Amino acid sequence: MPTLDSRTTDGRPAPLSVRSNFVWSLIGNVLYAFCQWGVLVVLAKMCSQETVGTYVLGITVTSPIFLFAGLQLRRLQATDANEEFQFGHYLGLQLAACGMAMLACWGAGWFSGYHDASLAVILLVGFSKAVETLSNTFYGLFQQRERLDRISKSMVLQSVLSAAGLCGGVVLTGDIVWACVWSAIARLIAVLLYDVPSVLWLAGDNSSLDRQPSAISHRLSACKPLWERGPLWRLAMLGVPLGVTGMLVSLNTNFPRFFVEQFGGKAELGIFGALCAPLYAMHTLTKSLESSASAQLARLHASGDMLGFRRLLGRLMATHTAVALAGVVVAWLFGRPLLTLAFNADYAEHVDVFVAIMWATLVATSTGVMMTALIAARFIQIQLPLIAATSLAALVACWCLVPTFGMHGAAWSLAISKLPYLAVGLWLIVRMQPNVGHVSNVPGQPTKESSLRSNPWHVENVPHERKGAA
């Protein structure tokens, strides 16, 4: 197994093993989720509910915008096996997209009527997310070179420094605006001190020859943004549909926050945002587990072993359901003392909302497993309409429930919105035939082509080609 400093024959750092990459990914996601949760805990302890609501509002407004602006370029770059685009193309497009996203954040805040500290927080959180989105471009290069240790270390450094800046700013100044300034600066420092040197490190070896001025200049030029119109346009056409998908996923989660703020005010938004922390933490933690199982699901599907595919999917569903049910039981039995300990007694008064959110967490984790299974089974084209239906269900549920039931309605809308995806996903899995994904040579059995004609949403499981990545 290659060491952290071993290199290939062309001088590039050697990739890590699949197991090492998974361990590093799990560590980074766990610590990232812990820091995100810790920020809300500190804000709830040190600030008013309105201040927490202002910070959550900044996240709510900027998250969908920057998920679209990200264009999922990290995923495109990580799967660019033929290197159709250079790193500078990804960086250039991402810089342009982040610039437009900052303008969109200003417009969304201004035209929504936020002209005070709320707008400042929205812009500062947006700047922090712009830095984070740019770092995802670096992560795409690290992932392409199979060096997830660099991603994990960067995630930990960014999340720790950003959380320290925010919490330190709140403690020292008591002003959420200055706290967001410190947080954004801390994240930027982390990117400059670790991500940029890591990109240079991946560009060549560390020998004395490599430190000659000409070699250093070459490595620096390889890390500059490229503004070639043709490649940037083709890359944008690949990324925009993926960006729309990411934005819809974010809207599905943020619609309840929008409605809570509109009908209950920033204080209720602060409480609801804090109570939702376990849902987002569970989502972050289960991503690593789902990613580790996706390859095995894909292999079972490609070999036509539908019995094994369904058994593994069933085990994943059972595991995630058991963990989420345990969370529901803990919230029901010990929710009040836990919320008092983590936040304060005001938050503990809403323990019934917390229990409802834990039920929504159960549905959300099951939906994540179903999405992993459908993608492994090559149901790619249906993802956008399914996620669009999920977002529409979230909007309708919030519109009907939040004005009457407040935070309770918002909590249940988180669960209701995922049900269409689960129902359609279950129908597709049950409907799949054993021969889907491979050519059947058994007389009397339908061929793969006939199965694909009967299922227009299925994408053939062929070796990766860049033009099929969209």
Tell me which residue of 122, 410, 392, 394 sits closest to 264, measured CA to CA. Answer: 410
User: 49 or 130: which carries more pLDDT confidence?
Assistant: 130
Task: Check whether 457 has a pLDDT greater than 90.
Answer: no
**What b/e readout covers 389-414, taking b as 16+ CB neighbours within 10 angstroms?**
bbbbbbbebbeebbeeebbbbbbbbb
d(CA 86, CA 230): 13
How many percent of the chain have pLDDT more than 70? 80
* Distance separating alpha carbons of residues 400 and 379, to the nearest angstrom: 32
Examine the pLDDT at 256 and tell me if it is beyond 60: yes
Amino acid 402: pLDDT: 92
Between 426 and 238, the higher pLDDT residue: 426
Q: How many C-beta neighbours within 10 Å does residue 131 have? A: 22
- Which range (194-203, 219-228, 239-248) has the least confidence? 219-228
Predicted confidence (pLDDT) at residue 410 exceeds the cutoff of 80: yes
Check residue 466 and report its DSSP letter: G
pLDDT of res. 144: 75
Range of lowest pLDDT (188-192, 239-243, 452-456): 452-456
Neighbour count for residue 5 (Cβ, 10 Å): 8
H-only helix segments in 71-116: 73-78, 87-111
pLDDT mean over 360-384 = 81
pLDDT (average), residues 9-26: 69
**Residue 443: Cβ-neighbour burial (10 angstroms; 0-12, 13-18, 19+):** exposed
276: pLDDT strictly greater than 80: yes
Name the pTM for this structure: 0.73
Residues 379 and 428: their CA atoms lie apart, in Å, by 9
Residue 18's pLDDT is: 63
Q: Give the span between the Cα atoms of 262 and 183, in whole angstroms.
A: 27
Rounded Cα distance, 82 and 258, in Å: 42
pLDDT tens, position by position, 46-96: 888 888 888 988 998 998 899 899 888 887 777 666 677 888 888 999 999
How high is the pLDDT of residue 207? Answer: 43
Pairwise pLDDT comparison (5 vs 366), residue with the higher score: 366
What's the pLDDT at 6? 52
- Considering only residues 437 and 365, tell me which one the structure prediction assigns the higher pLDDT: 365
Choice among 103-117, 123-137, 375-389, 419-433 with the minimum mean pLDDT: 375-389
Quote the crossing angle between the two packed helices 229-275 and 18-46, to the nearest 10°.
Answer: 50
Q: Give the torsion through C-alpha atoms of 24, 25, 26, 28, to 10 deg.
A: 80
Q: What is the pLDDT of residues 141-175, one digit of tens each?
A: 887 777 878 888 898 899 899 999 999 998 888 88
**The pLDDT of residue 373 is above 50:** yes
Task: Report the range out of 48-52, 91-95, 218-222, 237-241 with the highest average pLDDT.
Answer: 91-95
Least confident residue range of 38-52, 58-72, 101-115: 38-52
The larger pLDDT score, comparing residue 227 to residue 435, is at: 227
User: What local confidence, expressed as pLDDT, does residue 225 receive?
Assistant: 84
| DSSP H/E element including 22 | helix 18-46
Q: Which of 291-295, 374-378, 389-393, 436-440 has the lowest mean pLDDT?
A: 436-440
SS (H, E, C) 398-440: HHHHHHHHCHHHHHHHHHHCCHHHHHHHHHHHHHCCCCCCCCC
Contact 87, 223 (CB under 8 A): yes
The percentage of the chain sitting over the pLDDT mark of 90, rounded to a whole number, equals 19
Tens-digit pLDDT profile for residues 311-339: 888 888 888 888 888 888 988 999 899 88
In the predicted model, what is the mean pLDDT of the chain? 79
Per DSSP, the three-state class of 380 is coil
222 pLDDT tier (thresholds 50, 70, 90): low
Q: pLDDT-derived band of residue 438, with 50, 70 and 90 as boundaries?
A: very low
